[in-house]
Structure 1
């Protein structure tokens, strides 16, 4: 059985795929920039390099960073992301990258709040199943589709580590996933998900970058595009070009992360207070894991904080495991 675990984020596409009998999946990631090819051209008129896929009869260029994607299309940052052609384009790229003509099972995630909305899971499962024309003359079929809460992939991956699985099975544990658009958390008590103590908020990485851009404007008199900061953080660049000089944005990014992250984590931990009981462990995953770990250690000084290895890929890898 061939399984594809796929995490289609606003900033990055992450996938893990392979036969169910494989000891580990093949993992791959790329930026989530996506636009119709006619909307994405360089000033010279040449089409931009990237992966080309077909969506509803139109060719899309996908896999660029938003900063590197010259496009007239508006980037989508909303709760209807899964219903956009950009999302479909990234899904088609994921199918292409598997090299398979049939995928037996696809597992992906939705924000926790959307999983609780009637019909959201069923609509996405129906959209992703079936046969997809991913390129001219190329069709790839998908059998079964399973949709789980976004941090669920990391929860499954964490459960493979013996020292963490003991906490998950018997303790009061939360898995927190700060993504680009939203921060999601799942809380478990004795291995069972507690819906009333799980949720989504909008204080995520995009808000950190917006605040950092504003702090840079106040300092340097020029506001860098959010996509430029996003690209610099993704590629661990120490500086960006601001007002004609190379500027080390990292101290102001740290300030922004502290401001936004404390508010986000305070909202989550307020939600998690159950009488006088403390969380036994918080597992941090996703693209914002490194930023939020330090904040959680301040907000929850007596709780064990664990960051998963390769947190950016953790959900996709866990989704692959969930497909078994």
Structure 2
């Protein structure tokens, strides 16, 4: 399938992607950002369908096979789930495998404009590398894709565009908004007047949802007297507001989340120091997979500013990336005709 714009938000926690469906609506989906080495054999699908096949794909990067997809295993025997948490994540083969997985599950084979996002503090450092690596003819085993052009934008701008899609009058040139994207590994913020980013009051730092999961895992390990490595299951339990099942017991994670608030407060304080007083900001737009974890602390930090937790916060950036890419492509085509 050829598509004019394909938007992918390869996050540390989940990989989200969006494209324009034939009906004109935005099609979007996501899967965990886990890329473990592919198993040497598979038993699923055998036994007269007693064992159902998992929705995963084998992606080949530099002759190494990785497994990615919605049904990738959330746990591993010794905690090695294929999660990569580092500032240079976008240069890793894990990142490439996850990006290829998004292309594969969407069924795209030719992309005119691929739109990717980066944490604010990594834009200058890694944007050129992404453009060079993923432009041209790409071969990933099951995924063979031609990419004509790669565009890289700051991640929170995707959420800003998503939030403004049905409220253009609230996002004029003189309307200021603070967009906060709480990701798995980083928290990023963009101070914007209309759609113009204020570089001095925008930034980001390591310290997203994963530091909360690690803190909770440490507290659980203390209470259970055994090491707890199940960060993915802790993440899932918190997102779904369900107990954490551990050795036959359902554990309420709310008390552990409360004990993790100092970590959240530290990140929010750093952001406060950067953005200053928000006397002229119309709203704070909160997005990202960790939005619910940070909402309370952000309300306390900025009590007089309207806080909006964006609908479907995990997918907000990818959908916004798509709109940005479509607008840019339309301008290029218009200029070419002139």
- For 2:194 and 2:68, how far apart are their aligned partners in 1? 42
Deviations 1:73-114 (A, max 9, x none): 763211111111111111111111221221111111001001
Deviations 1:149-187 (A, max 9, x none): 01111111112131x752463233210001011000011
Aligned length: 312
- Secondary structure, counterpart of 2:304 in structure 1: coil
Say yes or no: does 1:61 pair with 2:67.
Answer: yes
CA spacing shift, 1:155–1:40, aligned 2, 3 Å: farther
- For 1:171 and 1:40, how far apart are their aligned partners in 2? 56
Task: Give 1:222 shift.
Answer: 3.4
Say yes or no: does 1:230 pair with 2:235.
Answer: yes
Instruction: Output aligned runs, 1:257-296, within 5 Å.
Output: 258-273=261-276, 277=279, 279-296=281-298
1:182·1:203 contact (CA, 8 Å) conserved in 2?
A: yes
Instruction: Output aligned runs, 1:1-324, within 5 Å.
Output: 1-18=3-20, 23-38=24-39, 49=54, 50-63=56-69, 64=71, 67-69=74-76, 75-117=83-125, 120-135=126-141, 139-162=144-167, 165-167=169-171, 169-189=173-193, 191-225=195-229, 226-241=231-246, 244-256=248-260, 258-273=261-276, 277=279, 279-324=281-326
CA spacing shift, 1:216–1:173, aligned 2, 3 Å: same
- Secondary structure, counterpart of 2:173 in structure 1: helix
1:129·1:143 contact (CA, 8 Å) conserved in 2?
A: yes
CA spacing shift, 1:150–1:39, aligned 2, 3 Å: farther
CA spacing shift, 1:73–1:218, aligned 2, 3 Å: closer
- Secondary structure, counterpart of 2:273 in structure 1: helix
Q: 303-312 or 211-220, which moves further after superposition?
A: 211-220
Q: Once superposed, what is the RMSD of the aligned Cα atoms?
A: 2.6
Deviations 1:118-162 (A, max 9, x none): xx21111111111111225x5211111100001111111112131
CA spacing shift, 1:98–1:193, aligned 2, 3 Å: same
Unaligned segments of structure 2, at least 5 residues: 44-52, 327-338
Q: 226-235 or 205-214, which moves further after superposition?
A: 226-235
CA spacing shift, 1:11–1:190, aligned 2, 3 Å: closer
- For 1:318 and 1:190, how far apart are their aligned partners in 2? 15
1:280·1:303 contact (CA, 8 Å) conserved in 2?
A: yes
Q: 232-241 or 86-95, which moves further after superposition?
A: 232-241
- For 1:39 and 1:237, how far apart are their aligned partners in 2? 34
Unaligned segments of structure 1, at least 5 residues: 43-47
What's the counterpart of residue 335 of structure 2? none
1:167·1:280 contact (CA, 8 Å) conserved in 2?
A: no
CA spacing shift, 1:40–1:302, aligned 2, 3 Å: farther
